[in-house]
Structure 1
């Protein structure tokens, strides 16, 4: 069901529409920002430019991730979306840092701003950004790649709202300092929201273990008849939805055909209780009974 929703959200027509919208917004905001002298409007234009690249990159990464496993990539290409999410989020943080520096400089050297033009452009940008955000919102909860792109669009919607607020204050009270202040606030928000995605994608790329207690898995597996020990456990994620598990399992001395009957309940247990998609087990009798749950790097032969 999730995959179906992802495919629907990542359709070529939807991405094409979002890309066109963001390209038009970028051009309008660049021109409007230069003519009005608004830093927050220019910062929003840079965000929208990043959005356009993000949408195209995310769609391309999604297409790559659908490729089947082959001799070159035996786990498939699912991590293409993780790489895309990491790069998108990292780019957002870099942009945010640049905007914060520019905003601080503007605080000490404020410039005159055309509040009317700033306000008009910001309203147009907000409407277009909101449409783009809604188009990708459905699938953002279950896919880091889509979420990173969605975060780009959401951040620009919020930034545009901030620019509208700033434009109103500038128009009514000539508070030009509100422009860099809005820029700094939005940049801090964007970087704060991007950090968890960077952290999670780096963990996946480093083959870090998901939030699953391996000792609980060991305890549950030991309840299955025929299993006498579990060691050399490895658990990692290919992407945020695909968890893989491997372990050496000590069993009673039996025929391979009998040992295979134990594999099915183990796989069912791991899938139903822990959401593990792929399980690899190495059956042993006495070998490794003194080994730790995790792989001992001092062991020459596993």
Structure 2
């Protein structure tokens, strides 16, 4: 006989906490809207100035800013979708929409960085006249705008890969603005036009490094990987020490999103003869999974006989095979 036990929500999720969480999400959304507006104005100014000044660095930064505005728009749409309640088709809710938004943003960033490197190489071999004075003034103006936008996004970026990807866009923009100012000074004082493509490459490398790190984490969650610090062997060994538990197998651990961890497993039990004792054992296991391993959603299938399921991650139980032949493990 098998029985499935489910843990659908954290016991501490009160209505008050839910309202607080919703208010925080609304505030973060407002900040994201402001960031889109700020960045849109910066982009328009840089495109005009880049054409007038003949600066690749300015145009590159403007193109980057344009992608940022689009990416923050993507983040905003993804955030709106993620706020929907769970339904019959999306039983875990829509929060992974933000991860998809982050994935799109990061891929866009990487493509832009590669394009900037390509354009910088072309400019290196074909230098042009550049207005250093205009570069300096526009760089200072956009730097102030980028700093303001980064300030708006900093707090919500701590809890969302989606917004963090937009935040990295803005930090890269701020660095680009600094590069524009530095480039303008060197061009104005020393007529060193080669600094324009050199700074462009540096900006692109910064974008590639940070985008790659976040892209790895985003893909890890989308691939339903276990958290990096989750020790499955230690967890299983601890659960198997509980009275009534023979072993735990067919273990699946994955991240539902950036903040929630889910687990499902088969638990072979012995010496538990009534439903009350079974319910108490279930609660002890789930409480330990929650408090010790951060598992927010657990599904446990209790087994009283041989396990017949195949195709899941299993652990070796040499001691169990000798002591309990009634519960063979199918590896």
Q: What SS does the corresponding residue of 1:244 show, helix, strand or coil? A: strand
Q: What SS does the corresponding residue of 1:239 show, helix, strand or coil? A: coil
Tell me which residue corresponds to 1:229.
247
Higher relative contact order (CA 8 A, sep 6+): 2
Tell me which residue corresponds to 2:92.
75
Change (3 A) 1:167 1:49: same
CA distance in 1, matches of 2:36, 2:149: 9
Using the size of structure 1 for normalisation, the TM-score is: 0.93
What does residue range 82-97 of structure 1 map to in structure 2 within 5 Å?
82-97=99-114
**Structure 2: runs of 5 or more not aligned:** 1-16, 316-329
Q: How far is 1:8 from its partner?
A: 5.2
Tell me which residue corresponds to 2:285.
266
CA distance in 1, matches of 2:308, 2:65: 58
The answer to whether the 8 Å contact 2:252/2:312 transfers is no
What does residue range 101-180 of structure 1 map to in structure 2 within 5 Å?
101-180=118-197
Tell me which residue corresponds to 1:243.
261
Pairing partner for 1:204 from 221, 230, 236: 221
Tell me which residue corresponds to 2:302.
283
Pairing partner for 1:64 from 81, 86, 89: 81
Q: How far is 1:220 from its partner?
A: 1.2
Q: How many residues align?
A: 297
- What's the Cα RMSD here? 2.2
Q: How far is 1:17 from its partner?
A: 2.1
Using the size of structure 2 for normalisation, the TM-score is: 0.85
Q: How far is 1:196 from its partner?
A: 1.2
The answer to whether the 8 Å contact 1:159/1:186 transfers is yes
**Structure 1: runs of 5 or more not aligned:** none
The answer to whether the 8 Å contact 1:9/1:136 transfers is no
Q: How far is 1:66 from its partner?
A: 1.6
Pairing partner for 2:198 from 166, 181, 197: 181
